[in-house]
Amino acid sequence: MTEYYVRDVRRNGHAKLPPQPKTYLYPEATERFPSLPPQAITAIDHAIVGKYRAMRYKLIWTGEASLPTYRYPAPIAIPSRAWRAEYGKANVPLVHVTLRRGGRRWALRLRGGRNYRRQLVAFAKMVSGAAAVGELALYRLRANAADHRSGVADRDSGGQKASYRIMCKIVAWLPREPARLAEGVLFVRTDKDALLVALNAKEEKLWVLHADQVKRWEAEHRRKSSRWSEDQKAENRPPKFQARREAASTKHRRRIDSACHEAAAQLVNNAARRRFGVIRYYDLAHDFVGGFPWDRLRSLIREKADAKGIVFELVDASGLVAIETPPAPLATTQDK
């Protein structure tokens, strides 16, 4: 990311932002990281340059953003042609990947169980060929040492011993569920007293999600962060404070993201069960909880509605409706 920025142009009397100079960093990257397979280096480079181009105007021309950074350990990306999914003995889900240049292929066993029902259904479609597989990424996630799961141990930024779990993220285009006979509009809005409220055309409440635990989590996280900031002054900067803040922030982000997934799934499943064909979303009131990722919630509702074949309509502050129809299928049996 820094090399792309160093070799880019600077604003110096230009009438508009010049095009980005052609920069080829693959030879330097392979020399810097000789153990990584070529496919992984190419995938990581494409991800970095894509993120840099998206921020380039605000970074160089307007100065609204700073240079994006990556922290160790960054995920290792593997393109679709460099890995394979299959079932092993006793129907165990496996992925075969090459992790080192010129090295052998490894068979990584994925975790199953009832907590991964949704992921296992998608994995079965990848193995059968009903889903178009994309990029695979391996990364580590901080975990509780008492959860009795396999993982690795390392030191955090404060020098304290911490447990991490190796995670596998798979991107795939899954077939959309068969369309069912559905009609009517479900009006959904954010509210000052609840996270989501769903109404029918007669403005009768059909479903309410209060999610008071989200307000409690946000208040607790703000309180802890404020007290740590007061304790961690220039005269007292023990490393353990920073490690605790990082661990607490990571836990909070994961908890809020999980809450967004659950709220979006509950709303879309309710709309599908009541046979609504359209979800009209009013994302105007954000007084329920401060600091909540409303954009993330809206995006998840749109994605899950798309998977159910439900049209998602977004109403802006002016009252205009933006209709977001599901994309056209990739093939006769494959959809996003």
Instruction: Locate 28 and state its tokens.
Output: 């330097």
- Same domain flag for 247 and 293: yes
Q: Do both 200 and 261 map to the same domain? A: yes
Which of the listed residues 37, 62, 87 is the one where a domain comes to its end?
62
In this structure, are 248 and 314 located in the same domain?
Answer: yes
- Upstream peptide bond of 93 is cis (omega within 30 degrees of 0): no
Determine, yes or no, domain membership for 67.
Answer: no
- Model pLDDT, residue 234: 59
Instruction: Let me know whether 255 and 288 are in one domain.
Output: yes
Q: Are residues 319 and 199 in the same domain?
A: yes
Strand partners, 77: 137
d(Cα 175, Cα 177) in Å, to the nearest integer? Answer: 6
In a domain, 335, yes or no: no
Query: Residue 202 half-sphere exposure, CB side, CA atoms within 13 Å?
Result: 3
Write out pLDDT tens, residues 16-48.
999 999 999 999 999 999 999 898 999 899 989
Is 124 in the same domain as 28? no
In a domain, 332, yes or no: no
Q: Strands across the sheet with 152-155, in order?
A: 76-78, 132-143, 161-173, 152-155
User: Do both 26 and 101 map to the same domain?
Assistant: no
Name the pTM for this structure. 0.72
Q: Could you tell me if residue 226 is inside a domain?
A: yes
Domain endpoint, select from 173, 202, 229:
173
Residues 310 and 217 in one domain: yes
CATH number at residue 225: 3.30.420
pLDDT tens for the 336 residues of the chain, in order: 999 999 999 998 888 999 999 999 999 999 999 999 898 999 899 989 999 999 999 999 999 999 988 877 888 999 888 899 999 988 899 999 988 888 788 999 998 888 888 899 999 999 999 999 999 999 988 887 766 677 788 877 667 788 888 899 999 988 877 766 778 899 999 999 999 999 998 889 999 999 999 999 999 999 988 888 777 765 666 656 677 788 888 889 999 999 999 999 999 999 999 999 899 999 888 989 888 999 999 999 999 998 888 889 998 766 666 655 544 444 333 333
pLDDT of 283-311, one tens digit each? Answer: 888 989 888 999 999 999 999 998 888 88
Q: Report yes or no on 334 lying in a domain.
A: no
- Please identify, among 62, 88, 109, the residue that sits at the C-terminal boundary of a domain: 62
Task: Please check whether residue 84 is in contact with residue 94, taking contact to mean a CB–CB distance below 8 angstroms.
Answer: no
269 part of a folded domain: yes
Query: What secondary structure does DSSP assign to 59-104, as a single string?
Result: IIII--SPPP---SSPPEEE-GGGEEEEE-GGG-EEEEEE-STT--
Q: Is residue 71 part of a domain?
A: no
Q: Are residues 294 and 192 in the same domain?
A: yes
Burial code (b: 16+ CB inside 10 Å, e: under 16) for 55-90 equals bbeebbeeeeeeeeeeeeeeebbbbbebbbbeeeee
Domain count, the chain: 3
Helices and strands: H and E segment counts in the chain: 7, 13
Distance CA 211, CA 209 (A): 6
The CA angle 173-174-180, to the nearest 5 degrees, is 135
Residue 69: inside a domain: no
Residues in a beta bridge with 311: 278
Q: Could you read off the pLDDT of 127-164 as tens digits, one per residue?
A: 999 999 999 999 988 887 766 677 788 877 667 788 88
Q: Is 26 left (phi over 0), alpha (psi -120 to 50) or beta?
A: alpha
What percent of the chain is predicted at pLDDT more than 70? 89
The answer to whether residues 211 and 291 belong to one domain is: yes
261 and 311 both lie in a single domain: yes
DSSP state of 308: T
Q: Which residues contact 60 (CB under 8 A, 6 or more apart)?
A: 8, 9, 10, 11, 17
- Is-contact 279 310, C-beta < 8 A? yes
* Listed residue (170, 144, 186) closest to 278, CA to CA: 186
Q: Which residues constitute the domain of residue 15? A: 2-62
Residue 110 sits in the same domain as residue 15? no
CA-wise closest residue to 304 among 332, 324, 321, 290:
324
Rg over CA atoms, the chain: 23
